[in-house]
């Protein structure tokens, strides 16, 4: 299970509204040590353990390797028992 994921949303409130409506939210995990690969996609609603959620709406250029990366503006914790990000 991921420790931290990135979710594309305008705000934590918007992300929670989407979760409440039952939308399947695709999130991205970036982890050098993940055996499934550096970039792994998950569905937030299906995670069964708490994890940190970095909420972003824009990407920035990573000068180290010329990739674009998410720029988080809000952080929260996904609570799977309640299906909400606090």
Q: Contact, 54 vs 43, CB < 8 A?
A: no
Strand, coil or helix: 47: coil
Q: What is the pLDDT of residues 64-77, one digit of tens each?
A: 767 788 999 999 99
Q: CB 16: neighbour CB atoms within 10 A? A: 17
Q: What is the pLDDT of residues 27-39, one digit of tens each?
A: 999 887 777 768 8
pLDDT over 80 at 55, yes or no: yes
| Predicted structure pTM score | 0.88
Residues with Cβ < 8 Å from 57, sequence gap 6 or more?
8, 9, 10, 73
Q: Contact, 38 vs 30, CB < 8 A?
A: yes
Q: Which of 73, 81, 86, 84 is nearest to 6 (CA)?
A: 73
């Amino acid at each position: 299970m991921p420790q931290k994921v990135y979710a594309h949303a305008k705000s934590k409130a918007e992300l929670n509204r989407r979760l409440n409506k039952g939308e399947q939210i695709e999130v991205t995990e970036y982890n050098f040590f993940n055996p499934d690969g550096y970039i792994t996609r998950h569905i937030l609603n299906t995670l069964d353990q708490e994890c940190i959620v970095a909420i972003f709406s824009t990407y920035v250029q990573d000068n180290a390797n010329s990739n674009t990366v998410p720029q988080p503006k809000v952080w929260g914790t996904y609570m799977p028992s309640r299906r909400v990000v606090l």
